[in-house]
Chains A and B, each alone.
Chain A
């Protein structure tokens, strides 16, 4: 029994690694008062470009850098539109996500990444070590280590540094922050670029960190799940991490159902939906709120 619990938690962490990484970046943006619904598209872009550059250069590290650069470009457009031009934050994100989907799909075809034998396999990060749990062997790579480090690190940055204080202040009452000499738009933009880079890195964890291929729309809503985790986690690093972990475990649960062919009502279709149903239930029954007061409200003041 204990073994099974450890198995679930560990494989939940491994399955939830991209989500954990991304939501740790996302929570910083949300705390600074910007609505980031574009995580999905940014992650997808990062997944594609890390895959593309890993194949073309033959180096996973250059692939990773390429992926992050791709995500940064998307976040730059997205952020400038929302933060400097005060566009509608929901509509802009929808546009960004659709653009990312279209661009990655088109480029995938254009660069002939697909052959009759399936998509080309890219170089990937090898597992650092493997955990043998009897029933299953779990490979752990450094994305997983990074995710684990990011949880306390994100908490520390938000709560214990002057940077975090500035982030919280621009999320709560940007005008007050501005009178203390904080450049509201700059802080928000930097937060946004950071979460863009992190989302792209999480995308790389999907491709070169895991399956080594890119598949059209392979993020499958993870960006939105990350957003749900942040809301569920009441905009705190620890709460968000917990949400991501729960989602990871439910994903692991789904996989075991499929691998071991456990019989459940509705069979395969139900098993696919499990993580999403759990997320929905969590959101419905959790205590919500605590959103930064200036959340999703464009800053109208002058930045000097």
Chain B
């Protein structure tokens, strides 16, 4: 088999960090190679070197047997390299065809011959069964369709080496299945694929070979058939990883949180949560799965008092707490791990100590009669940093200097250490690597064991399946079904995520 891409001893050194250290691998025609690694392992840097965005400090890149120097994106494109970005690089206000022709001419003159482009796009789309309408605006398309536009953009530019960056991060299970089919089709046609991922099951399903990166170095390169998920996880993290959590059944009967006929409107007057009812028992985790943007954010904000409730009731214990201010809800023992840790969870310019003290600041022992006890805040910070293994040089370190995983640990420490009776956790592991993810999931399970009622809202089905006692699927502000987390049919969950009602409604 012909080698289409070869990387030899590539190093990329930034002023402060070595992002890639002596990485070597190759990609053959018609092959899928996965680059597996944790956040910060150097995957993105490596891809950016291959796409002409960064220039390697050392080492060589060979494309189709020839040594090349990629100084800009056009160089990479001219050699047939195309990249599908994790965050879609599509202009929402433009049409599919306009996005695809962007940066190119349609003839000798600057005149934009959109008809010609639309025809070509249509042909290409039909060839791969993408079902795209070249005239639709991106903003009207679903996430899965947008990704097909991203891919088509590369095909239109005749790319035969495709780089996919965390391609399944935003897809539903069905969309993922479709994507994998497409990718296999590409490979059959003789294209080659380099996929960046941190998801082991993806690697096991698709890749021919796996290159594992750890701290910018090669931890190894193995054939898929010679490995298994556990081995890959260990290679990636550098130690044994907890892969399966033990979900203990709910032993208590008392309801901690009851939500009755909740309706929430956003500030455009649209109903984002429609007449939603559910309850969580002491020591139970209710997982809410669903595609992003189906009311998850509104549900969490309504419960925590950050958003106005239109109709319905929230009962904590025995008491009704429907229209309370966030602070009063907090005082009822509800903790919130917010979706956007930068916007809602932390004040990035403040120190770690200050962020840890932020919520309790108006209470003893953080302050007495409005006077802050800095000595206590310091010792409290020190203890928390130790207990929760937050990596920073000191509690006086500005929170923005911490890695994403450690920032999340600051929030988790603050929210959990006060022993809340309800925890609302929204996407608590988004963007975290395996180590930090494992930590956060473990903490949620520990809290549940202690007796907290946990509402876990996540778009990662895998995460929901790992820790929840029951699983609810949200679609357009309604639960499509609530099922026990036993022998769950993933495809059925996927269908519910797209709006089909489950028939196994538990009552």
Contact = CB atoms under 8 A, between A and B. Distances in A.
Interface of A: 160-166, 168-169, 172-173, 175-182, 293, 302, 304
B488 interface: no
Interface of B: 52-53, 71-74, 77, 83, 85, 88-94, 98-99, 101-106, 110-112, 153
B102 A172 contact: no
Contact of B89 (A165, A176, A304): A176
B89 A179 contact: yes
B390 to A, nearest CB: 28
Contact of A162 (B90, B91, B99, B105): B105
7 contacts: A169-B102, A176-B102, A179-B73, A180-B73, A293-B92, A293-B93, A304-B73
A168 B137 CA distance: 14
B98 A165 contact: yes
Contact of B103 (A160, A172, A175, A177): A177
A180 B157 CA distance: 10
A160 B112 CA distance: 5
B58 to A, nearest CB: 20
Given A160-B112, A162-B101, A180-B89, A172 B73 contact: no
Contact of A172 (B77, B94, B104, B153): B94
B208 to A, nearest CB: 27
A166 B111 CA distance: 12
B163 to A, nearest CB: 12
Contacts of A160: 111-112
Contacts of A163: 110
B232 to A, nearest CB: 30
Given A177-B103, A179-B83, A304-B71, 4 more contacts: A160-B112, A165-B102, A172-B91, A182-B103
A74 B507 CA distance: 72
Contacts of B73: 178-181, 304
Contact of A168 (B72, B90, B94): B94
A179 B85 contact: yes
A173 B91 contact: yes
Nearest to B88: A176
B103 A302 contact: no
Nearest to A302: B53
A172 B93 contact: yes
B53 A173 contact: no
Contact of B92 (A172, A177, A182, A304): A172
A175 B88 CA distance: 10
A176 B91 contact: yes
